[in-house]
Amino acid sequence: METAISWKSLFESWPDAIPQQGMVVTELNDSIPFVSFMISGGLLLLERDKPDQYGTRKVILPWSQIAAVRLMTTEDMARFQAMGFQRPL
């Protein structure tokens, strides 16, 4: 459950300066590309720019199903401090 809280915190603190684009990898090893997202309690709503093979553009997942988030951004690492990341001491 602690990991789910961390994922929720990451998406809640997503800075406006970093595009809401990337890929969520689920615990079932599904890769879900997204161009936008919204949050609601224990759920994350992801929006794709293109439909998947089933024709769906939106995916709703519980925080506990997120295994990884992949980002395509070329932003400098320092910009991610707004999400709570810091350099090791």
Q: What share of the chain is helix, strand, coil (3-state, %, to 5)?
A: 25, 35, 45
d(CA 82, CA 28): 29
**Which domains are assigned to the chain?**
2-75 (2.30.30)
d(CA 6, CA 17): 20
d(CA 81, CA 89): 14
What is this structure's pTM?
Answer: 0.87
* 22 phi-psi bin (left φ>0, alpha ψ -120 to 50, beta other): left
Q: How many CB atoms lie within 10 A of CB 31?
A: 10
Tens digits of residue pLDDT in 12-40: 989 888 899 999 999 999 999 999 999 99
Tens digits of residue pLDDT in 37-84: 999 989 999 999 999 999 999 999 999 999 999 998 888 888 888 888
